[in-house]
Amino acid sequence: MSSYKIEAGTAQHIGSRAQQNDRAALFSGARAPGYVLAVLADGLAGGAIAPEQVLHTAKLVFDEFKPGDSTSIERMAELLHAIVHETHLVIKMNGVTTGTEPLASFVGLLISPQGQAVWAHVGDSRLYRFAAGKCRARTTDAAYVEHLVDNDQRALDAAKVHRQSALLHNVLGNVHKEPFVTIGSHEDLAADDAFLLCSDGLWAYFTDTELGSVLNKNAPRQASEMLINKAGERADGKGDNCTMAIVKLVRPPKEVPNYTVQKMRRAV
């Protein structure tokens, strides 16, 4: 029996933009009882078309996921890779059909009932893992820069510029380059662990310590309201779309004994 229960939610705000191009969702597996998938995507071009496709494909792939009695970290990572790969192909095909170039970032988190967590990351959206309010891991583009240096034979400074190119940066739907997926994992999840998936319209305005403190002290709904309000305040009228998914592991409530006194029947 798990030593925690899951509290989760999503939230977003349009910021100072004309439309909301971010998307986030939480899914339970149709064939994977006890598994939870959180997904977030930020539309970088083409509006919300690509992020909508991310959520649609994630649900379809996750609904086909059958883990069996136990699942390894590698198997969970394969699922996230499959979501990225299939979404990337569909977005590219839709772009060719419509004559557009929709693009999206991606961050996904998969939690198993065995206390395992695996996450995948493409682009400038982020995932944070906190333990009792302390940031223990977060996604960055450092691995992508190393990939450019090792595989594209680019100097470090050139690789840092390259990753920001409008045509060549790391996203889903890019017709010039396959997405580079960074995978992270953690086992032995416990109460007081928490995860935050968010777009750059949120993380750009907070330190790791600030985010961890808010998540640690508040339920997902209250935490999201506080973060959105503060992000809007710090953006000073120039804020981007602000979107997040929060997954918290909390201690289950103690069971209170319920004794009912009943009159005994007469023995025969």
Name the helix (H) or strand (E) containing 196.
strand 193-198
**Exposure string over 235-246, b if 16+ CB within 10 A, otherwise e:** beeebbbbbbbb
Look at residue 166 and tell me whether its pLDDT is greater than 50.
no
Is the domain 15-193 a CATH 2.30.30.50 member? no
In the chain, what are the domain boundaries? 15-193
- pTM, to two decimals: 0.88
**φ, ψ for residue 162 (rounded to 5)?**
-60, -40
When mean pLDDT is compared across 62-66, 80-84, 139-143, 201-205, the lowest value belongs to 139-143
* Structure-model confidence comparison of residues 47 and 147, the more confident one: 47
* Confidence tier at 55 by pLDDT (50, 70, 90): very high
- The pLDDT, as a whole number, for residue 96 is 85
Residues 107, 124: Cα–Cα separation, whole Å: 9
> Taking CA 142 as the corner, what is the angle to CA 104 and CA 79, rounded to the nearest 5 degrees?
50
**183-205: per-residue pLDDT in tens?**
999 999 999 999 999 999 999 99
